[in-house]
Structures are given as C-alpha cells and as structure tokens.
Chains A and B, each alone.
Chain A
Amino acid sequence: MRILPKKIDGIKFGLMSPEYIRKFSVLKIITAETYDEDGYPIEGGLMDKRLGVVDPGLRCGTCNSRVGECPGHFGRIELARPVIHVGYAKRIYKVLKSVCRSCGRIKLPDERIGRYRQEIKTARKIGKNIDSIIEDLFKEAKTPKKCPHCGGEIFEIKFEKPATYLEDGQRLSPADVRERLERINDTDSVVMGFDLDVARPEWMILTVLPVPPVTARPSITLESGERSEDDLTHKLVDIIRINQRLEENIEAGAPQLIIEDLWELLQYHVTTYFNNEVAGVPPARHRSGRPLKTLAQRLKGKEGRFRSNLSGKRVNFSARTVISPDPSISINEVGVPEVIARELTVPEVVTPLNINHMKEIIIEGPYNYPGSNYVERPDGNRISLARVKNLDELLEKVKPGWKVHRHLMNGDVVLFNRQPSLHRMSIMAHEIRVLPYKTFRLNLCVCPPYNADFDGDEMNLHAIQGQEARAEARVLMRVQEQILSPRFGGPIIGGIHDHISGAYLFTMNDTKFTKSQAFQLVYSSGIRKSLPDPLIDENETEYYSGKQLFSLVIPEGLNLSYKAKICRKCDKCLEEDCKYDAYVVIRNGKLLKGVMDEKSFGAFSGELLDRIVKDYSTDDARIFLDSVTKLVINAISRRGFSTGIDDEDLPEEAKERIEEILRNAYKNVRKLIRAFNDNLLEHLPGRSLEETLEMRIMQVLSEARDKTGAIANEYLEKEEKKRRRENSARIMAISGARGSLLNLTQMTACVGQQAVRGERIKRGYAGRTLPHFKVGDIGAEAKGFVKSSYKSGLSPIEFFFHNMGGREGLVDTGVRTSQSGYMQRRLVNALQDLKVEYDNTVRDTRGVIVEFKHGEDGADTSRTDWGNIVDVGKIVRRYADQRGKK
C-alpha cells in the first residue's frame, strides 16, 4: 500500500455519538474475563485479539497484522443504563438550568435567542472566542421562572458534585437528564455552543463506552511469568462487572433500590475511569492501595503525556559527558572523545565521486575509527555493520544512492548544549575535533554563553542528520555568529579570567621582550605575521613592547579609542595623555596607547571585540579571539602569575589609618544614636525617625568601609611600586579578570556591615541581637558590623553575623532556582509561537499581530551599539580617529 502524503489542516474536537462509537468499534465486550487458563485471550473479553495485539507472534484479529504494525482497534461496552461523563458534568448542569423541563427550549424569548445566535455567528466569523457569549447566555437563561415558549413551570435545579442533579430536591437520573437533553432542538444547541457536526447535548451522557485498543493499555509479563494488567484494563473490568450485574438485575426485575445502587456504582466506576482525581470521589485503588492511573492521569501534569511525551522528547544521535577546557582549540570547535565519535553517526549519500572512500569507511566498520555503523539501502532499510557476515557481498551491492552512516569526523557540525537552556546561546553549533580521553573539550571563551565551568558540568551534543539542518546550523548557530548577544548588543563570548589579566600585563608600558622572546611567543601562539621593527630603549638595546606584539592580532585598518576598565574616572580626562595608560587608542590596527583589559575583549564588555565583529566580520572576530587568547595565555604562562595571602598584606601605617577610620565611624554612629535619643535627628523625606537613623547609620558604616578599601588599595599600589612587583590580587580586580575591589577590601581591610533583607541584623533576643550586648544597644557591633578583615580573622560574634548574612544568599539561590524554572516555563508557554514575519510584524501562529514592529523599533539588538541604535558620539570619535592617523 502506498501511503499518500497528507497535510493536517486543523484539528477539531467533538463528542462521539453512540452510533459513532458503535460504528467505530470492532466488537462488543461482553465478559469481564481477560484470559483463559492457558493464557489465551477470551473472545469478547477485554484482551480480545480483534482489539489489536501486544504479544509478539500473535496476529490481530481485525487487520491480521503483527505487533507494531497494527495500531489497535476500539471496542465498546453497551451500558445497561446511561451514565454522566464527569468531564461534562458542569456543562450538563449549565444546559439543564437553561432549558425548559417540558418543551426543551432555552428559557428565553425567541428574539433573545436570535440575538445570541447572531453574536456567535459574527464572533465565529472574525475568529473571536465564543465562550464568553455562551457564558452570558447561560447566565441569562437560568433566571426565568417560567418558560416563555410553553409557559411551563421551572423548578430549581441543583448540582451535587461529582455527577448528581437534583430538581426541586428530587433526583434526576442520568436517563432523565439524557431525555431532556435530547429534546433540545438544533438551533438552541448551536446557541449553547454545540457544533452540530461533532456534538449533540445528549452525547455528553454515555450510553455506550468506547474501549480503547489493547495497544493503549498493554499488559506486562513479570519475570515470574505472571501477567500484570494496565490500570485502564483493571478499571474496564470493574465497569463490565457492574454493568453485567446491573443488566441481570434489571432483567430479573430486581427492586428499584438495588438497581439504583448498582447504577450509582456504575457511575462511580465510569467516573474514575475517566478521572481518578475528581473532587469528592474517593479514588479507585489498586489492590496494593495505590490509586489507579486512569485516562486523565495519563495526560495531566509533569509526567503526563503532554509535558513528558509531546512537549519534550528523548532523542537519538546525542551524547553527554563531562566538559573540560582546551585553550588550544578554536571557539568554533568542540573536542569530542573518540568513543563518542564512533557511536554517533552522520548519514552520507554515496555518489560516484565518493564511492571508493565510502567503501573504505564501510570496511573499517563500527569498531575502527573512522568507520561507519550502518549502511542504508535506497529503500530505507538499514544494515548494521556490526552484524554483517559477508562484507564483500555488501560492498558489491553498494551503489550511488545508498547512504552510509559514518562516524563523526573532524569538521562535522554538531549542536552543543548546556542546561538550563535559558537563552539561544545555550545551544550553538560547533565543529568537531576528535580528541583522546573521555570529555568534551571547549574553548574557554564560550563558557560565558553556556554559563559553564569545569567543576563537573556535563553537556549534551547532537549530531545533525540532514544537509539542510547542517547548513542552517552552520550559518545561524555557529559559535562565531553568536558573539554578539541579542540581549545587550555587545559580545557575550570573549576573554575571561587569565585572558584579561594576561592581556593587561602584556600590554602594560613596561612590558618588554627581546627579539628571541618575541619570536618565540608570537610563533607559538600560531601567529604567522612578520613583526614590525623593534624599538630601542635607553640602553640602546632592541626590544619589542607588549603593545607592538598585541597589535599583530588586531585587524588591519582598525581605528578605535575608548576608556579602559582601569580608568579612574578623573574629573578631567586627559584622554591620550592618561597617566594611568587607561585611554586606549588604536590607529590603523596598531595599539598605540592604553592597556588591554576587560573592556577590550572580555565577555559582556569587550569594546575592541565588539568593533571587530561589527565592522569586520565574524570570521575576523573568531580569528582575533582565537589568536589573542592564545597569545596572552602564552605570555602570562611565561611570565608566571599567582596570588597568595601576602597579596593582602598591609603595612602597619595602613592598618592604623583603617583603624582610625573605623573608630571615627563608630563615633559617628554613636553621635547619630545620641542625636536620635535627644530627638535632634532630622527626618529624611518619607521616612520615620527610626528608619532615618537606620539609613544614616548604614550610610556612615558603608562609607567607612569604602574608605578603608580605598586606603587598602592605595597602600597595595604603593607596595607594588616599592617592591617593583605587581600585586596579583589587585591586578585581577582592576583589570576585571576576577574579583572586585570590594572583595579585596573585605580581605584586607574590613568586611563591613552584614545585612539580612537589606537591613542591619535586627532579630534576636528581646531588645538585642545577642546576649553579648546590652539591651537596647543599636551601635555598630551590636547590629552586625564586621570590622575585621577576612585575613585578620573574624571574632566569634562577627563570624556569626557574617553567617547570618551569608545564609540569606544561600536561601535565595536555593529558593530562586526552583521559582525561576517555573517562571521560565510559563514564559515559554506564552511566547513560544511568536515570530517576526517578513512584514516586520510580530505574530502568533494564528496570524494575530502582537507587535507592529519588533521591539517597537524594529531593531535587532545584537546589531545595535550596546542597545543604542546610533551612538553619535562614538561615530564622531571614530571619524576623528581616522582623521588623526592621516
């Protein structure tokens, strides 16, 4: 049979009519038994072969196909009495309340009904949701006490969960309800929202129950040979049993009471068959006491069909392992262990041009690298090379048009991903580089977009199976195409840690290299360019400056000037004459002034890198990043760089000055408290006196901490000059490689005020935080000010307060991660099918416009200048730079 390709245009949900269920079903289930003693399915039972097969070897009694081919066929149970479908219980109630009990019309005058009909019609035409109109109708129709059509009296109808209706205190049986719904005419049904093609009101009440095919409820055989049935089968058995008893009793003319009891029981079983978590209904349980997983439970929730099998799926051709760094590969590459490369395959079509190569690869087979795991015939059948006995015979058969599933090889494009995938840079396309050992290797510059580190992180890799996908991934998703972040319009891929401190040290003015040093450094960094002429120093010796060598990796003709990270924000900027070398000037691709630091090519802030991507190309940017990182890593490796506790040493003089500042701060705090007590404190706007005091104290203490930090920094710098040796900790902080001056302050000078939820420590014993203080003490120490530095060590009380502050952060991260996950889910659900159309509007899948212009300015953030569509100042400066070179 040829399968005709068809396209799904839409899906329409409706009710199944009893006739439809009967027509649809292949047999009527008549017995609750499933298997006979020999383990064969009983005819007319729930496991009847005509419902499909799940056991290998058997053939379907309806379509005569085997397991896997036969999709299964529905059966039916003829219910002895009708029952309410719980899913529609509420709607039935609404309908019942709106129609007349005698004539079956909606209890509204014809013209009102006509109005509603018109409204629904127009709403349908413009694609508007009709739910609210129908709600209005139900609301209006339930009030009349008399039917406007037949004048019949109306009694109050009550609904008792889950499926009982009372009219004037009298119980309505499902049969009564069904009878009433049957009386509703077609026009009224439409007004109440029923689409007559697929639904009639009375179909909400079941007279026939469809029995899903066995393929939807396969039984499993335990090791002991015992059969274990699916929960749905169990439930269906219950339904059949009760149904039979009910039928027998009715036939035998049993008393009404007994019949009603059984009817109720049947209702219960059918209810729990649909949904075992209906409020007010005790869940049906398995013998072990575990609640059964019935239809609704299969679909609902995180483990349900939708979230677990439809929105999310497991994939083939993927690999996962621990990641580790490799500074020698390009940012575009990913190192893949050979074992993984042997397992993952890519289909390659055999052509007359490559047939010999393909045959070689087939010969290598699945165990040698590079080889192949499968050969696919033009008809789509796959032959596993691990199982092929006669290879020569196979090789004979291989012709152009076959496909070879060959191992991953260097240069193959794959997708690489790290969870949580919070932005699009969490999945990028990399080129493969097969490497020894068992971890994925990645360039350090791509750590920021993935938010990866190497403390045991694992990542996933997906081998792309189609040419089209491969091309798309290569053009759109390659790492180098993602350097600029669509979040802030600057590079998100860039140098980190040692790249930054390395570049800083490398480009400082007093960094000099002899000719041989320079050659070695440049060559080993893979730069193949001729060096400029060396400079000559005061001793008449030739040398290369770091800036000269750095210029080798800057693209030719680049002009740029900006303030470096180390800029001290002087009142008046001397620009090119900056005495701290913090004003970077690049002319015609030559670094003339300023040092390279975080602002040059760091992730999130690299100006130079930003310029290269935007003014040159992503290829140039990749080459720049690859070579600049190699160069500075080589440089810093040769120089050596380490930090130790002595980086936090301060001279006595500095300690005294810090001590002095803290003493003053304490004094000021006491003064403030005294002023407060004497009622001399002035209100800050919108604050109570107490709040004012708190804020002023916080301010004084935080200023004090900052001052001590400044002093510490000042002395660290002085010491550097005195000892003619850089302070590594400080270098890292100022260049932006790692850590901040605040971290340094806390280590060397003073940890500062500890806060819980933005306030000084306030809870604790009555009137004080700790019993070490006097009641009512609101001074600095008593409320969590830590005057010690991490290096000098904290006192027990300080340590405790510090732990209090630290705990808050810990709790935050612990609680936030779970919350943000949920938030992400909701956002994704709300936004997933919005896209920018070719007319620049943002629309959802229905074509409804969400925004007329994307972001209301139509800008692609990653092409903007740090989010600004134009930065006039920058353009002027660049023009000036260009002029300056002439």
Chain B
Amino acid sequence: MLDRKPILRSFLKKREIVRQHIDSYNDFIVHRLQQIVDENKIIVTDVGVDVELGKIRVEPAEVIEADGSHNRITPNEARLRNLSYFSPVHLQMKLNRSDRKGDFEEVKIGMIPTMIKSNICNLYSKDTEELLDIGEDPLDPGGYFIVNGSERVLVTIEDLAPNKIMLEKNERSSKVTEVAKVFSKRGGFRALVNVHRDKDALIGVSFPSIPGDIPIIVLMYALGMGSHQEIINTITDDPLLMDDILINIEEFAHVTDTEKAMEFIGKKVAPGQTKEYRLKRAEDALNRYLLPHIGVIEEDRLKKAHYLGRMVVRILELSAGTREVDDKDHYANKRLALAGDLMEDLFRVAFYNLLRDVKYQLERAVVRGKEPFVKTAVRSDVLTERIRHALATGNWVGGRAGVSQLLDRTNYLSVVSHLRRVVSPLSRSQPHFEARDLHPTQFGRICPSETPEGPNCGLVKNLALVCEFSTGLPEDELEKQLESYGIKKIEKAGGT
C-alpha cells in the first residue's frame, strides 16, 4: 500500500497544527481592527466637540512594570510572573471643535491579548535555537493567550451559517408550516428573518423590531414593488406556484401601493403614534432590521425585496414537494468562529464601551469648563479590563460562557487537541440526536473518532488532521467578477 506518511508530514510542516487560530488572529490584527474602527469614524458629543478616528496600530506584546517602564516580555515570563501577555493598541484621534479642526494624534486606547506565535508575538519568526535561548518551548504550537499567568484557549465555535436561507418544516399538531429562515448578520448585529407559509398558504414575514408577522405582499409593496405583476415577477414565473401567490394577493387586495403598505407596517411597529412617527419607524425597521446583511439604507430595499422573493420561491417549492428541507447538520451550512472572530466580537463591544466613555469624559470636561483633550478623555483601562475580564472568565459578549478555557496541559496531545477543539452551542441537556451524529460532510474536516463520552457527546468535536479553513472574500471583488460576466445589478422598476 502507498505510504501516505510523507504526504501528511509535509502537509503539517507547511501548515502547523494550530495555523487556523494564528491566521485568524493575524487577520483580526491586520484588517478587522481597522474595520471595527471604521464602523465608527467619528464620535459626536452633545457639547460641540467631536473626535475623528484614524488608523489603528498594535505593538508587540509588552508589560508595564510597577515603576511605569515598558518591557517586552516572553510568554514564559508572563506565565511565571502571573502577568498578562497583552499588546498595546494605539489609535489616531483628532479632536475637532466647532471653531477649529485639530490634528491627528496617536493615543494608546488599551491593551489587547496577544496570541502566542502570532505576528505581534515576541516569539514570531524565532527559530528553535533562539526559542531555546530565551527559555521557550520550541515545540509549543501557540495559538492561545496568557491572562494573569494562565493560558487561555479561545475554543472554536460551530454555528449555523449566517446569511444563508435555511428551509424548515414545522409540524405542530398536524399543522404543517414551511419556514425559510435567515440569520442575517452585519457586523456584530444578528437579525433572524423568518418567512413562513401557514396551512392556508398565507405567507408572512417576521423580523426583529416588529411584533407579529407582516404579509409578504404588504412587505413587497413597502420595499418598493410597484404592482402585483412586479411582485409575481420577482418571486417566480413557475405557473405551478402561482396559485399560492394569487391567494396571498387576494387576501391583501386593499394594499396596492408602497404608501399603503408603509402605513400598514407603521401601525404594527408604533401603534397609537402620530402618522409621521409611524412612517419613520416603519422605514427604520425596513432599513435596519430587515435583512441587514444586504444593506441598511433605503437604496437597498429593492434588493431586499428580491431576496425575499427568493425565500418565498423556496417555501413554495418546499410545499409543492419539489424541494427538500435543508440539512442543518450539513457542514456546508456551518461556520466556525475562530479566535480572530471571537476577538472581533469582543473587541467591538469593548471598543464601543470605550467610545461611549470617551464621549462621556469629553462632555464632562467641557461642562465643567475644562479644556477637552483626547489623551485625558481616553481611559485605556475601559477597553483592557473589559477584554481581560471576558478572557479570564470565559464569559463572552452575548452571554456566551465557556468561550475561553484553561489550556489543557495534561500532555502534548491534550494541548493540541484542545487547540483544535470545536464546540457546538446547542444545549447539552436536550438530546439533539441528529446534531450529535457524525455527518458524512464532516469527512476530512472533523475527526470521526475524537468526541467526549457523556452529555457532550457529538457536540464537542475536534478538527481532523488535514482540515483546512477557507475564509470569506471581500464582497466588492466578487461583485466585480460577477459583473464582468454580464450579470446586472437590481435596478429600480420593472424587476426582472
């Protein structure tokens, strides 16, 4: 038989065992930090001062000694002295007053945990000899953090893929309803959009900020569809599915234009308010809470209508029997959140806390008649401690617990296994037999053998030896590529 060992060996030589965490973290440092900053380009205060945010920069890990001096430290020193292996983060900030604009100055906004062996780790690109010289284990895979001297792993979290239409069938007391669900994710915001067809073929949509359901026809009008014909064109041209659509149109025949539709929605979101306010709230809901991954401005509404159209077709096909429900355990429908993704979630929240604090400090300074300075307004501990606390306790943003765990140092294998662990957020108390099964799509991605016995069986998994990660690619690039094939963007009016 063919000896496959050399292949595996050379594979692992190129891709070390915890490359996935390190790559993800590096990406977080290099790209995503800046993206988070760019989500909030400017802090506007109520006192006529605002702060512009510029480039963010991270320095290699260091520690501030008791005498105030800064020292580059090695991970081992952090372990031995019970220190945190953190890197200082600097951000360019510009204080603008109503009368004059300031200049960018670089402010230290806090410290973020440094992943061992990442680009900003002091062990980066050191060879075996050098590592031995400074007392580090040359075989240590890295990929974890050190907080107050304890080694913490950010365990990879497996979750249902966001921005993907998932078809379900709900069978409750002989009533069958077909449901299409999308976890629409934009930045740190997740909104579940739920399109469902009840037993009378009526199709309703539910999404955050709106109580109850909105009929699909109403929603389509509200999103800018001009006529029944346009709605039908947007959904399907399959004559077999047409009946269901017509039933829906008949049911809401009194809604015939965008204005009426908006009024309908307005009554739902803000009952008993003034008309202007109702309309404003309705628009807001459509822009911000309906399918936010497509966009959050008015111009995106038409796109959302088309997207909803797609969801409706799938439901109709499902109820007609020409389509099957989606397999939630199919690994194509799963996304893994690695260390970088988890740090991103945490940093975003901590950073927002910081910005809020900066705003508050500035306002306070101005109200008290003091000269506002960014340097004094930024209390770097706000960011650092929020992150440190989350990492030290494992209580992540969004109420997830156990995200960071103490690295299992029983032996080398347990370390590697821990760093490649994947956990599912499904509760361990419920059976969830299907989710615990070994799914064929896990072949080559998840180890078929290694899973704990007991209540976590099949929910806690480990990466297969040859598992590779793919990451998303920038949307604009993809868009350009598609356009070059002659695909047109959705424009106003006419549909199709």
Contacts and interface: CB of A to CB of B under 8 A. Distances in A.
Contact of A814 (B438, B439, B454): B454
Given A803-B449, A804-B448, A765 B436 contact: no
Interface in A691-735: none
Nearest to B434: A763
A681 interface: no
A530 interface: no
Contact of B438 (A803, A815, A818): A803
A810 B440 contact: no
A807 interface: yes
Contact of A804 (B440, B453, B456): B440
Contacts of A761: 440
B458 interface: yes
B426 to A, nearest CB: 12
A799 B464 CA distance: 14
Contacts of B437: 756, 763, 804, 807-808, 811
Nearest to A802: B448
A815 B441 CA distance: 24
A84 B454 CA distance: 46
A770 interface: yes
A769 interface: yes
Nearest to A770: B440
Contacts of A818: 455
A803 B436 CA distance: 12
B440 A815 contact: no
A208 to B, nearest CB: 42
Given A803-B448, A803-B449, A815 B455 contact: yes
A616 interface: no
Chain B interface helix/strand/loop/mixed: loop
Contact of A769 (B440, B448, B454): B440
A763 B439 contact: yes
A811 B452 CA distance: 10
Nearest to A772: B443
B451 interface: yes
Interface in A727-767: 756-757, 761, 763-765
B327 interface: yes
A306 interface: no
Contact of B327 (A756, A763, A799): A763
Contact of A811 (B330, B433, B439): B433
B329 interface: yes
Given A763-B329, A799-B448, A810 B453 contact: yes
B431 interface: yes
Interface in B289-331: 327, 329-330
A759 to B, nearest CB: 12
Given A811-B458, A813-B453, A818-B455, A764 B433 contact: no
A88 interface: no
B202 interface: no
A800 interface: yes
A109 B454 CA distance: 62
Contacts of A757: 433
Contact of A807 (B330, B436, B443): B436
A812 to B, nearest CB: 8
Contacts of A769: 440
Best-buried of B433, B438, B448, B456 by chain A (most CB within 10 Å): B438
B457 interface: yes
Contacts of B456: 814
Interface string B55-82: 0000000000000000000000000000
Interface residues of B, number: 21
B443 A800 contact: yes
Contact of A810 (B327, B329, B330, B458): B458
A761 B442 CA distance: 14
A756 B439 CA distance: 11
Interface of A is mostly: helix
A492 B320 CA distance: 58
- What is the size category of the interface that chain A forms with chain B? 20 to 34
Nearest to B457: A814
A817 B431 CA distance: 12
A794 to B, nearest CB: 11
A290 to B, nearest CB: 15
Contact of A770 (B329, B443, B454): B443
A770 B445 CA distance: 13
Contacts of A763: 327, 329, 437, 439-440
Nearest to A801: B440
B453 A814 contact: yes
A755 to B, nearest CB: 12
A823 to B, nearest CB: 14
A811 B448 contact: no
Contacts of B449: 803
Interface in A779-813: 799-800, 803-804, 807-808, 810-811, 813
Interface in B408-441: 431, 433, 436-441
Contacts of B431: 815
Nearest to B442: A800
Contacts of A813: 453
Contacts of A799: 448
Nearest to B452: A814
A698 to B, nearest CB: 19
A803 to B, nearest CB: 4
A810 B443 contact: no
A808 B439 CA distance: 11
B329 to A, nearest CB: 7
Contacts of B438: 800, 803-804, 807
Contact of A800 (B433, B440, B454, B455): B440
A306 B436 CA distance: 35
Contact of B457 (A764, A765, A810): A810
Contacts of B329: 763
A770 to B, nearest CB: 5
A810 B451 contact: yes
Given A763-B327, A763-B329, A804-B448, A814 B440 contact: no
Interface string B248-276: 00000000000000000000000000000
Contact of B441 (A764, A803, A807, A811): A764
Interface string A421-456: 000000000000000000000000000000000000
A811 B440 CA distance: 17
Nearest to B1: A793
B322 to A, nearest CB: 14
Contacts of A765: 330, 440-441
B443 A811 contact: no
A261 to B, nearest CB: 28
Contacts of A764: 439-441
Contacts of A756: 437
A55 B63 CA distance: 49
Nearest to B430: A815
Contacts of B330: 765
Interface in B322-366: 327, 329-330
A770 B439 CA distance: 10
Contacts of A817: 454
A814 B327 CA distance: 24
Contacts of A807: 436-438, 448, 451, 457-458
A257 to B, nearest CB: 27
Contacts of B454: 814, 817
The 5 closest A-B pairs by CB, nearest first: A764-B440, A803-B448, A814-B457, A804-B438, A807-B438
6 contacts: A756-B437, A763-B440, A764-B440, A803-B449, A807-B436, A817-B454
Interface of B: 327, 329-330, 431, 433, 436-441, 443, 448-449, 451, 453-458
Interface of A: 756-757, 761, 763-765, 769-770, 799-800, 803-804, 807-808, 810-811, 813-815, 817-818
Given A803-B449, A808-B433, A815-B433, 15 more contacts: A756-B437, A757-B433, A763-B440, A765-B440, A770-B443, A799-B448, A807-B451, A810-B457, A811-B433, A811-B436, A811-B457, A811-B458, A814-B455, A814-B456, A815-B457
